[in-house]
């Protein structure tokens, strides 16, 4: 499944100095601290120890992996701590929801590998709720924030193509295919030429057995991006318009 969170891996080297961050804007600093690309130093230490000591066995590798996962998990929870502090100050900043959701999904993946299904569900729930909170502007819709009585509970939203895509991704991961299809369609409503979302939606319809929609989406992708590397795999190099 294609993912919209690759941008998370962008270079944040300018944010590595906390003193520099805190000198910008106090409230924005919490979000930036959460975005720091922190190096898990224990990972390097654990992997170099056996090389230095001349020891390399399965039990040592397994122990090192456990230590590294614990270190990475701690790093992820530190990021969430800073994102939540910023959320308390500015609950409508969209990147805060996107990045916190990404962290929750990484923690869910780790819990899945470690056989902790309850924790998997907890983090997936948190990611989905965060995306929903951003999209439907729950904070803005609170009565105390609608000071001009414009009925924001019925009219005010923060609809965003990427956030709908993120919502579709987490629902797809959870096997909620109907909900994923709705989220991907809403994403295409906001960004109609996003071929990545079309591929994800085609994958959902394939699982639902709706081949007509699958072919419609792939033909649409061919119109937008005729050189897409996945087209040949799907159409088996057939240059004719598929029925």
Residues 7 and 65: their CA atoms lie apart, in Å, by 26
Residues 166 and 139: their CA atoms lie apart, in Å, by 20
pLDDT-above-70 percentage for the chain: 69
Average pLDDT, the chain: 77
Sign of the Cα torsion 15, 87, 171, 195 reads: negative
pTM (2 d.p.): 0.71
Contact 162, 4 (CB under 8 A): yes
Tell me if residue 108 falls in helix, strand or coil: helix
So what's the pLDDT on residue 197? 97
Torsion-angle region of 194 (φ positive above 0: left; ψ -120 to 50: alpha; else: beta): beta
Residues 106 and 113: their CA atoms lie apart, in Å, by 11
The token pair that represents 216 in the structure block = 């419609």
Residues 19 and 38: their CA atoms lie apart, in Å, by 15
So what's the pLDDT on residue 29? 47
Torsion-angle region of 25 (φ positive above 0: left; ψ -120 to 50: alpha; else: beta): beta
Instruction: Write out the CATH class of domain 159-243.
Output: mainly alpha
So what's the pLDDT on residue 83? 87
E-state strands within the chain = none
So what's the pLDDT on residue 71? 80
User: Is residue 67's pLDDT more than 80?
Assistant: no
The residue that leads in pLDDT, 4 or 146, is 146
The pLDDT-based confidence of 15 (bands split at 50, 70, 90) is: very low
The token pair that represents 136 in the structure block = 């439907």
Which H/E stretch holds residue 7?
A: none
Mean pLDDT of 28-44: 47
Domain ranges of the chain: 1-139, 159-243
pLDDT-above-90 percentage for the chain: 41
Identify which of 221, 226, 224 has the alpha carbon closest to the alpha carbon of residue 239.
226
The pLDDT-based confidence of 179 (bands split at 50, 70, 90) is: very high
Mean pLDDT of 215-222: 94
pLDDT in tens, 75-130: 888 888 888 888 888 888 888 899 999 999 999 998 998 899 999 999 999 999 99
């Amino acid at each position: 499944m294609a993912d919209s969170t690759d941008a998370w891996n962008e270079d944040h080297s300018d944010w590595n100095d906390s003193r520099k961050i805190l000198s910008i804007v106090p409230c924005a600093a919490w979000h930036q601290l959460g975005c720091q690309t922190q190096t898990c130093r224990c990972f390097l230490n654990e992997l170099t120890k056996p090389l230095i000591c001349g020891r390399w066995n399965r039990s040592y590798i397994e122990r090192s992996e456990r230590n590294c996962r614990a270190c990475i998990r701690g790093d992820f929870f530190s990021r969430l701590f800073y994102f939540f502090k910023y959320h308390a100050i500015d609950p409508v900043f969209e990147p805060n929801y996107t990045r916190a959701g990404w962290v929750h999904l990484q923690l869910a993946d780790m819990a899945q590998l470690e056989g902790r299904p309850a924790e998997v569900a907890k983090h997936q729930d948190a990611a989905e709720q965060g995306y929903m909170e951003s999209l439907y502007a729950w904070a803005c819709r609170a009565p105390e924030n609608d000071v001009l009585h414009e009925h924001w509970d019925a009219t005010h939203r923060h609809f965003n193509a990427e956030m709908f895509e993120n919502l579709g991704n987490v629902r797809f991961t959870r096997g909620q295919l109907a909900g994923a299809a709705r989220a991907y369609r809403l994403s295409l409503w906001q960004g109609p030429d996003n071929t990545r979302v079309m591929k994800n939606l085609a994958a959902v319809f394939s699982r639902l057995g709706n081949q007509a929609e699958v072919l419609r989406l792939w033909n649409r992708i061919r119109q937008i991006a005729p050189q897409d590397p996945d087209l040949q795999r799907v159409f088996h190099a057939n240059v004719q318009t598929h029925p």
